[in-house]
Every structure is written in C-alpha cells, then in structure tokens.
A and B are shown apart, each in its own frame.
Chain A
C-alpha cells in the first residue's frame, strides 16, 4: 500500500470540498437540521402526549404527504441533474426547446417519478399498520395537489440555481426540503415553534396543508380556508419560481454556463 496514493486520493476530495462553500455548508447542514426537527417533535410529544388518540395514523399520514412533497421536488431536480451528470446539457439547449416546454415536461415527468415511488409506500401502510391515507377523503386530492405545486416550485428554485451556478448548487437540491421540514410544521402545530420561527413558518403553504391534515384526522372536520391560503401562497411562489427560471436562463446565456457545465 502506498501512502502517497492514499493521500493523493484524499487530496482529490479535500481540494473539492475546500474550494466549494456549498459543499462545506452541506456537511454542517444535515446534522443541524435533523437535531432541530427531532427536537421540536420531541418537545411536542412530551408536552402534549395525550393530544392524539391516533398517533400512528397522524404521523404516518403526515410522513406520506411529506414524502410526496419531497419526491416531487427531488424528482424535478433529478431530471435536471441527470442532464448535467450525463453531459447532455448543451445538447438540450441547442435543440429548439422553449423554456415553457422544458418546465411542462419536467412537471409531468416528475409526477410520474413521484407516483412510481410513492404508490407502493401508500399501499403497504394499510396491511402493515392498519392505516389508510384515503380516510382523508376528497380533501386528500387538494392536499396532494397543493403539495405537488409547492414541490415543483422548490424544484424550479433549485433548477434555476443549477442553471445559474452549475453543479456546485447540487447540494442545495438535496437540502432544500429538509430546511423546510422543521418550519413546515409537518408533525406538530405551529405553536410549538419559537415565535421568531413562527413568523417564517406562516409564509409557507406547508403549515396550512399539514395543519389541515391533522385537523381532518384528529377532529374529523374539514376547514377549506387552510387549503385556500395554501393555494394562494403556492400561486405566489410558483409565479416567482417560473420568473426566476427564465431569469436564470438569461443569466446563464450571458455567463456561458450552458456551454461548459461540469464539476
């Protein structure tokens, strides 16, 4: 065994990390987010242990819905990243493809990818845990739709970053959803968050979607005003996401990142 070769290979990765702030932040980011998320979940359950009489049902349903959001956003980003990894990026942008066609194609492909991953997970919750997400009834469709729009919006934000800054932005693609998990109040009500964080949480559609999900499961009642707020916020963020994608394409054409996107 050669120490130099081992050291050489170590240096290959060390130089990559050292030269990239997004990669350094990524290393710090994951443990921090996990601790914050599970800290809030623990706080909620220790303070309100008798809140749910259907704890497994609520947790699993929220987990499935969150995973749907996660998969739709990641699927959107993955489709974009695949083109960078396969060095096919330039070929696509010299084809007569309009930006709107790229977005629409990614939206539908991401939906199919998401469903392929999620449908089996939904199906096994019933025999394994006696839980069916379908108990949410008709509002389930609106919850899924709202989550999907938000997932796509996040995908547009991240893809805009990839277009503008190249693959260095890749780690953000994986991290974006986890940043929102503690603030999105997936497993606990917004009141569990410190007031400072509540202000941020209130501008996210996730808070209203998961609040509504828990309300249906715990109180057996539907409050469409939560869904209306979620759709309103989604419309706002989606518009910004689309505009950002167009702007990033323009910037990439000025900067030249469509030609030599690489490591």
Chain B
C-alpha cells in the first residue's frame, strides 16, 4: 500500500513555546489514522501544518510525495477539511455554499457533484435553506458535503461528530467508513470520542505536549497498557506525568 501522507520531523515553535515536537508518521492509502490527545497537545497545529495553513518551524509534510510547502495550491485540490470550529457562510443557502466551493475547487460538473452529495448525505430537505438556519446535525452534514465536493484523496476530520446526537453521529461515522473505503481515501481523524476512534481507525497516535507518546492499533494499545478500552488508555497516558 502506498504512503499517501508522510510527516517527517515536523515541529512548530511559537517564540518560546514548542507546540509540536519532531513528529514522524505516515498514513497509507485507504487508511484512517487517529490523532488523540488532550486539548492543547498539538493536534490542531499538526493538522494546520499538514493543510499548509501553518508554516512548520522545521520538518516537512509530503502528500502524494510532494512537499505541501512547495506545492500548496496543487495539493489543496486533492485535500479537504472539516472542523466544528469553522463554518460556512450562514446567509447563503446550502446549495449556494456548495456551488461556491465547487467553483473554488474547480469542479467541472458542479450540479452533478452536488446532486450526488445531496443524495448520499440526505441534504434534499434543506438544500434551499439558509445554512445559518440549520440544526447542528444538518450543518455537520453540509460541512461534510463541502469537504467532499472535490473528491479529496486526503481528508482531515477534526472532531467530526462533536455535539451531534447519537443517531446523526452514527450516520456520519457510517458515511465516513463507507466513503473512505469506496474512494480509497487517507483520513486523519482528531477526536475525543474513543468509540468512534476504535470503530473507524486502524492506527492511533497518542499525543501529549506536542509529542507522540504512543502509537499502535486500538487493540494493541488496549492490550499493551492492560486496560479495558481506549478511553482508559487515554486517561492513563495523560495522567501519568512521569511518562514523558
């Protein structure tokens, strides 16, 4: 399997604070990798550098073998991102937003692509509604549609099911599972939902204070630390101050 994403010695320093320290990992084609860690451990900083939003202090991110710093625009055509902390313009209807982003990503048959996403993500009942008038579950599905508008081969999901009810959360997780295997996507998932991580991810990176402190499959980590589930592993690693 091809390494679609390679992160090499990636670091970010803001004046005296080292937000991310010398990260190294890869994500294969058709693989979902989870980035776990407490708030402020460097997950968002890492994703931002991988998306070219933030310039690393040192190290590099290779996507499809190309350095994001040197080929930002061409690589962004193949990538997308969803986060509960960013939104789409509220005054535009769902369809208008998808048309705007379809154009920004240079999609040739925008209408066909929107129709496909509307059907897959069940957007038809509110496609002509203003985005700001939608419930958080509906907004989440629209953000997912925007994130898939360019058929990305690399997708970054930052807490994709945060604040969703269990039914919508399950729908989103099933959809991610299905689309990633159908399209052979590489996905980086940052989440605080351990069940979600266990269900979706083949590999987990545990982060703390900007460092990767452990990694493995969810089952490997659970067995290695002698815990019942991933949440207990997370708590053990983050409460154990002597570990670092």
Taking beta carbons and an 8 Å cutoff, which residues of A are in contact with B?
82-83, 86-98, 250, 253-256, 258-260
Which of B14, B53, B87, B90 has a CB less than 8 Å from the CB of A93? B53
Chain B residue with Cβ nearest A87: B87
Residues of chain A within 8 A of B44, CB atoms compared: 259
Contact between chains at A94 and B74 (CB < 8 Å): no
17 further A-B contacts with Cβ under 8 Å, apart from A90-B53, A258-B53, A259-B44, are A82-B89, A83-B89, A86-B88, A86-B89, A86-B90, A90-B86, A91-B81, A91-B88, A94-B51, A94-B80, A94-B81, A95-B105, A96-B105, A97-B104, A254-B55, A256-B48, A256-B54
Residues of chain A within 8 A of B104, CB atoms compared: 92, 95-97
Taking beta carbons and an 8 Å cutoff, which residues of B are in contact with A?
14, 44-45, 48, 51-55, 73-74, 76-77, 79-81, 83, 85-91, 101, 104-106, 146
Chain A residue with Cβ nearest B47: A259
Residues of chain B within 8 A of A94, CB atoms compared: 51-53, 76, 79-81
Chain A residue with Cβ nearest B75: A96
Chain B residue with Cβ nearest A256: B54
Contact between chains at B53 and A88 (CB < 8 Å): no
The secondary-structure label for the interface of chain B is loop
Residues of chain A within 8 A of B86, CB atoms compared: 87-91
A96 to B81, CA, bound (A): 12
Expressed in whole angstroms, the minimum distance between the Cβ of A207 and any Cβ of chain B is 39
Contact between chains at B146 and A91 (CB < 8 Å): yes
Residues of chain A within 8 A of B87, CB atoms compared: 86-88, 91
Chain B residue with Cβ nearest A260: B85
Expressed in whole angstroms, the minimum distance between the Cβ of B106 and any Cβ of chain A is 7
A130 to B88, CA, bound (A): 46
Contact between chains at B51 and A253 (CB < 8 Å): no
Expressed in whole angstroms, the minimum distance between the Cβ of B147 and any Cβ of chain A is 9
Residues of chain B within 8 A of A92, CB atoms compared: 104
8 residue pairs of the A-B complex, CB under 8 angstroms, read A83-B89, A87-B85, A90-B85, A91-B87, A91-B146, A94-B80, A94-B81, A96-B74
Residues of chain A within 8 A of B55, CB atoms compared: 250, 253-254
Contact between chains at A259 and B89 (CB < 8 Å): no
